[in-house]
Chains A and B, each alone.
Chain A
């Protein structure tokens, strides 16, 4: 287990390092940052002054090293648009996105585990087919369109929920529904497949045969084993939600890091974009690392791979 953990940790570190280099290069190689900073009407000497002031005249590798060293200590530089530092901006907005993604995950699991279980119990029934149809349809809908349909139904027609903003808990409900809906199909299919496998297993047959109540067999023997891969995937889905929040937060003007990312990209506020990209990617790396370690701890067969 220790050998596996060390190897997996090294992989995560290598990935994190590469991701940071990509985040840096992506927006640095794309054009002359000094010209962007100075604005279109700037004189040549102003551009040159800004280039020196921001250290943009130094070799790229030094700039990267400098940026990474500061980023490791939580200093992502200054926003070109906001007075705050990038780190302060992200710290400010991250809780909103975390709440949104957590709510989304709760909704996704709350839908997918019961539906997936029911679909596996009554295989090939109308319920199974309905759940499958919903999953297929759910994966085909563009997420921004689904969000707008929610806005139209709950926000405009029924007037139950606010359609934009971050002020109250009610503002998070529709965005969380939109995010959760998107994660539901894949989690539901996995629950169903896991339950189908587990229900055919000998220990479930034994539990049945010794006369345990059905509820106990289903929850204690079947679900507990079927749900392990679902939890693993849910962690990955949580990471995906952080990046999916760009679209959803923009639709609902919810002040999280996704909306901040979209605003900053549109304004070419590159330090903010780099910071968010790095934070989200690192979050995903840590999440998948923990998931893999958990899986390996639960299932020794994985360790030998």
Chain B
């Protein structure tokens, strides 16, 4: 053991692994604290969902109402003297209330994120479960589709499709849904492959259950935990992509208050009013972080050995 070098940790690491089944530190922590990431992210996410649902009541103004006399008012935390009580987070360069636009923007991110996740989840889960259950040719076909999908540059294809069909919410949801199913397929395939040989599946086969019934009643409930984890990651991914598409002008169209679009609109005045890009960007960041941490928390809860 190289005690003279400052780096003695790897040796300790080896020793610790041999001697202790689990790090002592974790045992000392109270049980509920272990899931602090899960609880915290669930609370943040719930708050954002509630704010989005209650936007008409929470928002002080109409998010589309322009008032050229009140352009570019700063928020309170930037310049308390110039800020006005009617616009606590200021106004954008068309005089629209920023707080109201941020609240309504949460609706767009959540709607697109959720439904794109549902679409891609349906496609990917169907493919993955079939590939994992049947193997052979089905498996080859699905892995071919996944490889093809992965080689298509996602942003470019999405931009091109939106430019052709127009940037409505439905188009963005469908484009993202049809581009983000690959991870669902890969994970569901290996999860299904793992449970395929288990006794309860063999039993169901032996008593003559139909294939759809086996997949629905026996396979799906047993791969549900991985499904939920992937669903959270893909929802976060869809939210980030929507923001990027809208930022590039080929996603959600003005005057809708998409957070990505708000960053793009604030870009021109970012030298003088940097808070205008900070707020919507931070909103995306917090939402995506909450969803990702929720997914991590669920994963740690359901598959403790899955932690690296």
List A residues at the B interface (Cβ < 8 Å): 11, 14-16, 18-19, 22, 26-27, 30-31, 121-125, 136-137, 139-145, 148-149, 151-152, 156, 189, 192-193, 196, 199-200, 204-205, 208, 213-214, 217-218, 239, 242-244, 246-247, 250, 261-262, 265-266, 268, 273, 276-277, 280-282, 284-285, 288
Contacts and interface: CB of A to CB of B under 8 A. Distances in A.
A273 B240 CA distance: 23
A180 B198 CA distance: 43
B160 A247 contact: no
B281 interface: yes
Nearest to A31: B164
A277 B157 contact: yes
Q: Top 9 nearest A-B pairs by Cβ distance?
A: A243-B153, A145-B281, A30-B164, A140-B289, A193-B308, A140-B288, A284-B151, A246-B155, A281-B151
A14 B308 CA distance: 36
A282 B153 CA distance: 10
B249 A266 contact: yes
Interface centre among A148, A196, A288 (most CB of B within 10 A): A148
B281 A148 contact: yes
Interface in B268-308: 270-271, 274, 277, 281, 284-286, 288-289, 292-293, 296, 308
Interface centre among B7, B148, B244 (most CB of A within 10 A): B148
13 contacts: A15-B144, A15-B151, A121-B7, A123-B13, A144-B244, A144-B248, A145-B281, A213-B2, A218-B10, A266-B163, A277-B156, A284-B151, A284-B153
A246 B159 contact: yes
B27 interface: no
Given A19-B151, A136-B293, A218-B10, A148 B267 contact: yes
Contact of B148 (A15, A149, A192, A243): A15
Given A11-B147, A218-B10, A140 B152 contact: no
B196 to A, nearest CB: 16
A30 B171 CA distance: 13
Task: Describe A's contact surface by its main secondary structure.
Answer: helix
Interface string B1-30: 110010101110110010000010100000
Contacts of B293: 136
A213 B155 CA distance: 48
Nearest to A247: B244
Given A15-B151, A152-B274, A192 B308 contact: yes
Contacts of A217: 10
B250 interface: yes
A22 B178 CA distance: 13
Nearest to B296: A136
A16 B150 CA distance: 11
A18 B148 contact: yes
Given A19-B151, A30-B165, A285-B151, A280 B281 contact: no
Nearest to A30: B164
Contacts of A200: 13-14, 17
B244 A142 contact: yes
Contacts of B11: 208
B159 A214 contact: no
B277 to A, nearest CB: 5
Contact of A243 (B10, B154, B160): B154
A239 B289 CA distance: 25
